[in-house]
Amino acid sequence: MMKVPKIFEHTTEERMVKHFIQSFELLLKLRFPACSELAGKKVEQGLTIFDFTHGSVTTVNKQVYKMIKMAANAAAPNYPEISG
């Protein structure tokens, strides 16, 4: 289970947004090209899966939702080609 309050005991929202941006850069510069080579065609989209094994979407609290929204808001304006 994601313990968002614990995460923010060690970081800030600004640092999390920077982390998301770094992750998107790795995706574009390393992961997509590696996947493209393996697939033999251009790979330019990914999929995020949320595992709710011990919960459900209704158990997601406001902090978890805010964190997901931060990632989406970091991606949409900066990486429109992979956002959707």
Q: What's the average model confidence in pLDDT over 45-63?
A: 73
Residues spanned by the domain of 14: 4-78
| pTM for this predicted structure | 0.69
User: How high is the pLDDT of residue 80?
Assistant: 80
Does some domain include residue 72?
yes
Question: Which residues have CB under 8 Å from 71's CB, separation 6+?
Answer: 20
Number of domains in the chain: 1
Q: What is the pLDDT of residues 25-37, one digit of tens each?
A: 999 999 999 999 9
User: How high is the pLDDT of residue 9?
Assistant: 86
Q: What's the average model confidence in pLDDT over 71-82?
A: 80
